[in-house]
Amino acid sequence: MSIIPENEQNQKQVQILNELSKRKVVEHNSLITSIAKMDKTPLKMFELAVSCIDTEEPPKDHTVYLSKEELFAFFKVSDNDKHSRFKQAVEKMQKQAFFQIKEEAGKGFKFKSIVPIPYVEWTDYNDEVKIEFHREIMPYLINLKKNFTQHALSDIAELNSKYSIILYRWLSMNYNQYEHYSNKGGRRAKQVEAYRNPSIKVKEMRLMTDTVNEYHKYNDWDRYILKNSLKEINAHTSFNVTYDKIKKGRSIDSIVFHIEKKPVAKNEYYKQEEQDPVYLENKADREAKQKMLFAEAMQSPYTKLLGEKWLINVADMQDISTMTGLAEKVYPLYDELKEARGLKGVETHLSYVASKQEGYSKRNVVKYLKTAIEGYLPTVALQDLEQPERANYKKPRSLEEVAKDFLPDYQNETSEAEKEELRRLKAEIDKKLRGEGLDHE
């Protein structure tokens, strides 16, 4: 019988779960795309240990500490056999678990096999668990300035398949880049959207999930690896994910995922908005970017054109989300059209779009205009290939053409005397060619 009252135990459990829900896991992308040679328990234990690392103050001796209560809460273990199961999981992680990392090096690749956690220490009378990371894994966990991924530990806790965890980490890597470049800029609109709709070869995904030699038939692999993983991810994480199969010939060559972020649910136990510095920083960045985009949109010549064509009205121009949406998603595409056809070409396109606009499209003018220009740009590119004269540029002048600007004009005139001299020379050459004017020995 426990000496702690049941309500206090429940409160302690809630506090531990709340603490875990705030944790973030930060890893280098090379670790995300590596081959995890381990099952779900060692992989989840590794993720839990990584969440204990303070990236601002890296742990001394590569060591972190967590409590057994925290560990059992993370794995949702409450039976009497939990201590022996913990021991078995640690032994399995140290004997079997390792990452295979592939990195570009010179003209080829460098391959590394790293046992991430070679040392774990605990006692049967103490709640503390000491976890020591291998020195070779630390560069993938600390001092990360670029090419790293951050995801919620609470999402990992809910996943019950190794493949779900691996796919979730990879999807997070791509979606992180989508959010980063959406907020900070630095990529074209198509590139940013590609991060939210990432593609991966089936061969690469088999490598990443360590299923090269399993489920040889694609349908079996699709059912047991892909569909089951996405079912878990959609049910238990912050993502809603769908996918399309891309064929090459008669076989499936690659998979394109479509990632959407679920609305953030209100947490009953703590206010993340007030306590999470990462959330606050991202919120401030989003607000600053929104103000900048709104200002850019109001000064853009495209806004004037849209108003003249009655594609937007005064209410639209006063709506921040509409104007920032135009600046972020539509105006960069108009820049591409302007480059190919000039501002007049943009105006002609908008006149056509206005003539075809239906009432329903006015409810989401950003989506309507974005769809219209995305459909038109490929046509423009094709026209420029077939009819270069339609493009908004002139063919570069030749060196001879430029030189004429600096040389005097000469008329092709020949005097009668010069003509007579040319006829005489021609006649003389003809004789010599016939052998008539040659001296013989």
Tell me how far apart the alpha carbons of residues 302 and 353 are, in angstroms, rounded to a whole number.
14
> Beta partners for 35?
100
Residue appearing with tokens 């000064």: 299
Burial 239-270 (b: 16+ CB within 10 A, else e): bebebeeeeeeeebebbebebeeeeeeeeeee
Note the pLDDT of residue 383. Answer: 73
Apex 147 CA angle, 99 and 179, nearest 5 = 120
- Which of 131, 173, 130 is closest to 151 using CA atoms? 173
62-76, 133-147, 149-163, 274-288: which range is least confident on average? 274-288
Q: Which two tokens stand for residue 58?
A: 């890296």
Residue 7 has pLDDT above 50, yes or no: no
Distance of alpha carbon 18 from its chain centroid, rounded?
30
- Contact call for residues 50 and 27 (beta carbons, < 8 A): yes
Give the whole-angstrom CA distance, residue 419 versus residue 184. 75
198 contacts 256 by C-beta, under 8 angstroms = yes
User: Quick check: 165 and 210 in contact, CB under 8 A?
Assistant: no
Q: How many CB atoms lie within 10 A of CB 389?
A: 7
Asked if residue 127 has pLDDT above 50, the reply is yes
CB 154 within 8 A of CB 41: no
Alpha carbon distances (Å) from 350 to 311, 374, 378, 392: 8, 13, 16, 17
Higher-confidence residue of 76 and 122: namely 122
Quote the CA–CA distance of 426 and 435 in Å, as a whole number.
14
What is the C-alpha separation between 346 and 364, in angstroms, rounded?
20
254, pLDDT greater than 90: yes
User: What pLDDT does 8 receive?
Assistant: 39
Torsion of CA 234, 237, 239, 241, to 10 degrees: -30
Query: In which band, very low, low, confident or very high, does the pLDDT at 312 lie, cut at 50, 70 and 90?
Result: confident
Tokens representing 312? 């937007």
What is the pLDDT averaged over residues 266-273?
45
- Backbone φ and ψ for 401, nearest 5 degrees, come out as -65, -40
Q: Are 306 and 354 in contact (CB under 8 A)?
A: no
Q: Which two tokens stand for residue 170?
A: 């990879």
DSSP string, 122-155: E-SS-SEEEEE--TTTGGGTSS--SSEEEEEHHH
What whole-number distance in Å separates Cα of residue 124 and Cα of residue 131?
16
pLDDT at 300 over 80: yes
User: For residue range 206-221, what is the model confidence (pLDDT) as tens digits?
Assistant: 999 999 999 989 999 9
Helix (H), strand (E) at residue 45:
helix 40-51
Give the pLDDT mean for 406-422.
61
